[in-house]
Amino acid sequence: MGLGYRLVSRPMLGVQDSEKAHARAILGLKLMCSNPITRTALNLTYGPQSLNVTRFGAQYPNPFGLAAGMDKRAEALRGWTTLGLGFIEIGGVTAEEQLGNPKPRMFRSGASKALVNRMGFNNPGSANMANQLKRHFARYGRPEVPLWANLGKSKLTPLSDAPLDYATTMERLYSYCDVFVINVSSPNTPNLRELQHDDALANIVAACNAVNQKQSQQLGVDAKPLLVKIAPDLSDDQLVAVVKTARDAGCDGIVATNTTIERPEANNARDQLVFAETGGMSGQPVAQRSTAMIHRIYELTNGEWPIVGVGGISNAEDAWEKIGAGACLLQAYSGFVFEGPSLTKTVVNGLNKKLKQSSFSTLDEAIGFAHKQSPRVDE
């Protein structure tokens, strides 16, 4: 079915406007999962083997999740669990509703397996998102897997007011989401990346932690994990500073990485057009840089700080490399665009195979193996 997607469905979507194709794919998944027969068929076709892990105090059926940006409005929650994903990250969500940047704002290169987007946090706003999740939970129950929320800054909010903006969104979504990710690394909101540094980041984390403490006490639940998502374009000095600031401020982990503003060499005319567009690039071109940053963060933290690896995962080999670099969970977005709905099965079943072939008994043992020794793999 994955081959069928690459030979038939992906080329058909490829002739459409990228954003329209994306919307139609989300709608199609949502509709297919509204019918119990097609939902069961999807799960039988695409559901992976189990690879249970415990992360952030919760059980995950496998370590492979949906990255933010794919389902900004949380429209297909049942669809992603049907496809076997271990967790789902919705958003980015901002305090205020916003339309995002002018269209066209999403571009695709099939040859390079790369996406360029300048969406600009288009989303319904945190109040509307909370109401939508409330209605969904009332009708279908909570998702079967952990639900993460990607927190962004409203475009019109001054940088000085960013802590309140992020905290407002977190407070509104607190009852519905299990993990929160502070996104200070999207290149598509003016000056947002300035919030990755020093007091700016520390103040945002402090504001969100205040919400965390208040809400957890009021609801009688444990405080929820709070992570920060960083850009792949940081220098080493900047990365060292961001990691120290985030850890000292109380972040529970880090997501590495967001999209890049750098561009690889264009190999054809289509690439030249796509790569010339303003925005963040995701997909295969960011894979190596993302993995290198995971490796460095693991070194800086002695493997003691959870790292979520995202960027250019299109098969089990890519995923295994990020596990070796130090990632304890993985996410994909562009990989689903280019590889189709079978990606979860390909990655998770492939990781199971890697474990059986290696000297590791569990995935936890494999995390960071590139820092220790090459794992023995039986041929």
DSSP state of 6: I
Q: What is the CATH number of the domain that holds 37?
A: 3.20.20.70
Q: Tell me, what's the pLDDT at 373?
A: 65
Residue 376 lies in a domain: no
Question: Would you call the peptide bond into 104 cis, given omega within 30 degrees of 0 as the criterion?
Answer: yes
DSSP state of 98: B
Residue 69 lies in a domain: yes
Contact assessment for residue 19 and residue 106, using Cβ atoms and an 8 Å cutoff = yes
Residue 374 lies in a domain: no
Give the burial string for 317-332 (b: 16+ CB within 10 Å, else e). ebbbbbbbbbbbbbbb
Residues in Cβ contact with 272 at an 8 Å cutoff, skipping those fewer than 6 apart? 266
Instruction: Give one DSSP letter per residue of 288-307, joined into a string.
Output: HHHHHHHHHHHHHTTT-S-E
- Residue 181 has a CB neighbour count (10 Å cut-off) of 26
Q: Which domain holds residue 66?
A: 2-358
Mean pLDDT of the chain: 94
**Total count of domains within the chain:** 1
Contact assessment for residue 193 and residue 184, using Cβ atoms and an 8 Å cutoff = yes
Q: Tell me, what's the pLDDT at 378?
A: 54
Residue 365 lies in a domain: no
| Nearest by Cα to 77 from 219, 176, 222, 175 | 176
DSSP state of 8: I
Per-residue pLDDT of the chain (379 residues; tens, 9 = 90+): 444 344 334 443 444 689 999 999 999 999 999 999 999 999 999 999 999 999 999 999 999 999 999 999 999 999 999 999 999 999 999 999 999 999 999 999 999 999 999 999 999 999 999 999 999 999 999 999 999 999 999 999 999 999 999 999 999 999 999 999 999 999 999 999 999 998 999 999 999 999 999 999 999 999 999 999 999 999 999 999 999 999 999 999 999 999 999 999 999 999 999 999 999 999 999 999 999 999 999 999 999 999 999 999 999 999 999 999 999 999 999 999 999 999 999 999 999 999 999 999 999 999 999 998 655 555 4
Q: Tell me, what's the pLDDT at 224?
A: 99
Beta bridge partners of 149: 90, 180
Using CA atoms, how far residue 138 sits from 93, 135, 207, 221, 309, in Å, is 21, 5, 30, 20, 32
Residues tagged active-site:
186
Residue 90 lies in a domain: yes
Q: Tell me, what's the pLDDT at 372?
A: 87
Residue 254 lies in a domain: yes
Q: Are strands 114-117 and 106-109 parallel, antiparallel or unpaired?
A: antiparallel
Residues in Cβ contact with 268 at an 8 Å cutoff, skipping those fewer than 6 apart? 111
- Reported as a single tens digit per residue, the pLDDT across 213-262 is 999 999 999 999 999 999 999 999 999 999 999 999 999 999 999 999 99
CA distance 217 to 125: 25
Using CA atoms, how far residue 363 sits from 55, 206, 359, 360, 378, in Å, is 12, 32, 11, 7, 17
Largest CA distance in the chain: 57
Q: Tell me, what's the pLDDT at 379?
A: 47
pTM, two decimals, is 0.94
Helices (H) and strands (E) in the chain, counts: 15, 13
Q: Tell me, what's the pLDDT at 333?
A: 98
Torsional sign, CA 170, 194, 235, 70: positive
Instruction: Give one DSSP letter per residue of 17-75, joined into a string.
Output: -HHHHHHHHHHHHHHHTTSHHHHHHHHHHH------EEETTEEESSSEEEPTTTTTT--
Residue 363 lies in a domain: no
Length of the chain: 379
Residue 378 lies in a domain: no
